Each structure stands twice: as structure tokens, then as C-alpha cells.
Amino acid sequence: MEQKVISRRELIFKAGALATGVAIVAAPGIKMLSSAGAAKKPSSELPWPYKKFTAAEIKEAGNIAHDAWFKGFCSYATLIGGVQILRRKVGEPYKSFPVELTTFAHGGTAGWGGTCGTLIGAGVLATLCAGPKVGEAIDNEVCNFYATSALPIFVPDHPRAQLRTTSISDSPVCHLSVGKWMKKEGVGFLSPQQMDRCGRVAADMCMRTLEYLNQWADGKFEPKTKAPVMVNEIPSQNNCTDCHGDKVPKTSGKFGTGLNLLKGGH
């Protein structure tokens, strides 16, 4: 069966429409090499040089991210956590990089409650350091970590509020993630607890991204999460019933791509 699915994907890619740049997901199990030793090239070309973070530096990145949330919210926080240390460790081109460029992505993009801004910051951080293909594969893993973990995990050196609870979002979407947590904690939006929680989540995603980048730099990063678009035949999460109730539309058949044959339809 697996061979059949791969052949279908190859067919799609060979058809040319999707062939010239980026794969929808990186193929599972393929080890990708670090380019830390690559020759100098224009900063318009990715990836940029990466140097592995120590455990202490990863924790420092978490604290930078948490503090930075209160300056520029979640996407900025996740990105600056890594970039600030890369500016010190590597220098250019990180020093010249306009790190505020995804600040708008907070609140699920300008407050519209879509993808959590931490996952946009994480994706940019991973892409700068490992290029668009590996960067996407890393962000896919971070999305899965985000959707399946009881968050927040990180305890910052300087918390702004004491938190009682954690929650699992089942989704990379801000509205669901912060909404479920607020309900469980019993607090409102813009409460000190909610703000500190989101700062800690930014730290969690920044740190997780750096852990994957470290694995990649060692040639040991192996993508494990099948992107939902491949499983469900439409860009999607795996929490279908959260919105659809028991009326989850069929994506196989007429509207299907055949990408989920492994799963036996949806």
C-alpha cells in the first residue's frame, strides 16, 4: 500500500505543477544534512549558518521569548528567542534581519484567531536556519507538538502571573488553544494569567524548534508527523469533530486526492 501512495505522490510531483520547489511535506525517514559548514552565499539564499544551542542557551531562548511576548506578542517572541542568541553566536546575516517582520501574526494573525503566532515565528526561525524544506518539516513537528501537548510547559525565570492549569488544544489554531485554556483556568482574555500563559507557550515553541534544529545539525532530524493535508486530503487539523460535530464531510471519493489511501479514507 505504501508503495502505491508514494507512486501517486510521485505522479503528482512529476506532473510538474508542484515539482519545482517545495514538497508539501518532507518524506518521512529521510535524514537531512546540516549546512552549518556551507560556503558563504548571499543572505537572500537559505539556509543561513546555524550553530547548535547548548541546553543553557535553549533555556535562555525560552526566557527571552517569554519576556519578549510583553513587547511584541507571540510570533515576535518565538522568533526573537532564537534570533537574539544567533546574532551573538553567528552574527550576520541574523544581525541585519528585521526580526519584527512577523509581529502581525499574533492572535492568530492580527487577532483573527487562526494559526497561533508562535507557529509562524517557529516556522520562520526553522526556515532561516535550515531552509524552506527542512524548516517546514520542523514546523510541522512543532505544530503537532503544539496540538498534542498540555501547555504551557516552560516555567520562566520571571513569571508575570501564577498559573494553575495546562490544556491540550488538539489544534494549532489560536482561538481554540487560548479559548480552551482560558475556560479551564477560569480567566478572561488579556488577564495577567492569559498573557503569561501565551508568553510561556511562545517559549515552549521556540525551545522545541531549537531542539529540532540541533537534531538536524547533527544529521539526526527525522520527520515523524504526517502533515494533516496528506492524511485528510485537505489542509486541516485532526480535530474534525470540534467544529463539524458528527457531520464530518467526506474528503475521499469525488473531492479526494488519493493521498489518504494508507488510512483507508476519511
Which one of residues 36, 153, 182, 261 is an interface residue with a copy of itself (CB under 8 A)?
Answer: 182
Using rule CB under 8 A, residue 219 touches a copy of itself: no
Using rule CB under 8 A, residue 186 touches a copy of itself: yes
Smallest distance from a copy of itself to CB 95, Å: 7
CB distance 217 to 65 below 8 Å? no
Distance CA 105, CA 118 (A): 8
Phi-psi region of 207 (alpha: psi -120 to 50; beta: other; left: phi over 0): alpha
Using rule CB under 8 A, residue 261 touches a copy of itself: no
Nearer to a copy of itself among residue 32 and residue 259 (C-beta): 259
> How does DSSP assign 21-45, residue by residue?
S--SSPPTT------TTPPP--TTS
What are the CA-CA distances from residue 218 to residues 40, 51, 140 (Å)? Answer: 20, 10, 19
Per CB under 8 A, the segment of 28-36, 53-61, 114-122, 200-208 that binds a copy of itself is 114-122
Using rule CB under 8 A, residue 97 touches a copy of itself: yes
Nearer to a copy of itself among residue 61 and residue 174 (C-beta): 174
Nearer to a copy of itself among residue 58 and residue 79 (C-beta): 79
Give residues 224-253 in contact with a copy of itself (rule: CB under 8 A): 227-230, 233-237, 242-243, 245, 249, 251
What are the CA-CA distances from residue 142 to residues 92, 126, 224, 227, 264 (Å)? Answer: 26, 10, 11, 11, 26
Choose among 203, 194, 204: nearest CA to 162.
194
Classify burial at 189, counting beta carbons within 10 Å of its beta carbon; exposed 0-12, middle 13-18, buried 19 or more.
exposed
Nearer to a copy of itself among residue 41 and residue 54 (C-beta): 41
The 3-state secondary structure of 146-202, one letter per residue: HHHCCECCCCCCCCCCCCCCCECCCCCEHHHHHHHHHHHHCCCCCCHHHHHHHHHHH
Nearer to a copy of itself among residue 156 and residue 172 (C-beta): 172
The total number of residues written for the chain in this structure? 266
Which one of residues 81, 172, 207, 212 is an interface residue with a copy of itself (CB under 8 A)?
Answer: 172
Smallest distance from a copy of itself to CB 52, Å: 21
**x/- contact string, 134-153, with a copy of itself (CB under 8 A)?**
-xx--xx--x----------
Which one of residues 49, 123, 152, 156 is an interface residue with a copy of itself (CB under 8 A)?
Answer: 123
Using rule CB under 8 A, residue 89 touches a copy of itself: no
Nearer to a copy of itself among residue 210 and residue 259 (C-beta): 259
Using rule CB under 8 A, residue 56 touches a copy of itself: no
